[in-house]
Amino acid sequence: MTTKKAMLIDLTLCVGCNACQEACKTENKLPEGEEHSLSATAYTALNEYDGTYVRRMCQHCVDPTCASVCPVGAFDKLASGPVLYDESKCIGCRYCMQACPFQVPRYQWSSTYPKVMKCKFCADRQAKGLQPACTEACPSGATKFGNRDDLVREAYDRIKAEPEKYVNKVYGVDEVGGTSILYISSVPFEQLGFKTNLQSTALPMLTWNVLSKIPNIVSVGGVMLYGIWWITNRRKDVQKVEKELLEKRGNGNHSSMN
């Protein structure tokens, strides 16, 4: 059985050194240079909110919406956690960009052969038993890699041990069915640019629930339409019979008068 991997980011420990982004760019052979927002050349980025640094990156959802909406199967969710993108299958529809609840995937707009770009959770390194490059490079321990269940427990233990330090929430445990990137913070998440109104149900499950009801909708709708058709035609038949009876009565009266 494959163990689900995850990353716990403790925002209280991040010092904003940007070592995570530098390591990410080196690992993925992206152009050097500090960037403060996600782009086709930055798979992770740091934002500052009054002294609190927040890492942005693909959340590697447990049940990813990008994979569910891709019409050609260019996205694949590995059992170990990473959500990977196969550029050879991509047709450039960019449904993944529209569907992502965290607005993560970026597009190479200036490229002749554009691709969708996003964090790969260092799947190749994980396959070799290594941790992601960003986690390895973090000098303050703000980013920790490990088994998801273990990290969830550790996150709650940290909050329980220092309730005056942390807000009582582990972001990523429930959001859109859960993510592989977990956060704990001393500042309410809504003040740090996190989406805090996301539902706990995985978005692909909502799609499936709707689609699964379509046969019933079609069946019920079909019965209703047949009923309307039957009633309409029944009225026409009744009107036709009544008209024929009136004509016969009229002819009968005319014959008797003759």
102 by Cβ neighbours in 10 Å (0-12 / 13-18 / 19+) ranks as buried
Predicted pLDDT at 228: 47
Q: Is the pLDDT of residue 252 over 70?
A: no
- Average pLDDT of the residues in 204-211: 59
Predicted pLDDT at 76: 95
Q: Are 191 and 49 in contact (CB under 8 A)?
A: yes
The closest of 98, 61, 253 to 176, measured between CA atoms, is 61
Predicted pLDDT at 234: 54
Place of tokens 């427990």: 153
pLDDT, tens only, 137-173: 999 999 999 999 999 999 999 999 999 999 999 999 9
Quickly list DSSP for the chain.
Answer: -PPPEEEEEETTT-----HHHHHHHHHTTPPPS--SS-BTTBSEEEEEETTEEEEEE---BSS-HHHHH-TT--EEE-TTS-EEE-TTT--S--HHHHH-TT---EE-TT-SS--EE---TTHHHHHTTPPPHHHHH-SSS-EEEEEHHHHHHHHHHHHHH-TTTS-S--BTSSGGG-BSEEEE-SS-GGGGT------SS-HHHHHHHHHHHHHHHHHHHHHHHHHHHHHHHHHHHHHHHHHHHHHHHHHHHHHHH-
Predicted pLDDT at 179: 97
Q: Is the pLDDT of residue 235 over 50?
A: yes
- Average pLDDT of the residues in 228-241: 55
Measured between alpha carbons, how far is 93 from 251 in angstroms, rounded to an integer?
A: 72
Give the model's confidence band at 256: pLDDT under 50 very low, under 70 low, under 90 confident, else very high: very low
What percent of the chain is modeled with pLDDT above 70?
Answer: 79
Give the model's confidence band at 58: pLDDT under 50 very low, under 70 low, under 90 confident, else very high: very high
Place of tokens 């986690």: 135
Q: Are 166 and 184 in contact (CB under 8 A)?
A: yes
Predicted pLDDT at 251: 64
Give the model's confidence band at 200: pLDDT under 50 very low, under 70 low, under 90 confident, else very high: confident
28 three-state secondary structure? coil
Q: Are 181 and 7 in contact (CB under 8 A)?
A: yes
Predicted pLDDT at 232: 47
Predicted pLDDT at 257: 44
Question: pLDDT: is 45 or 254 the higher one?
Answer: 45
Question: pLDDT: is 174 or 210 the higher one?
Answer: 174
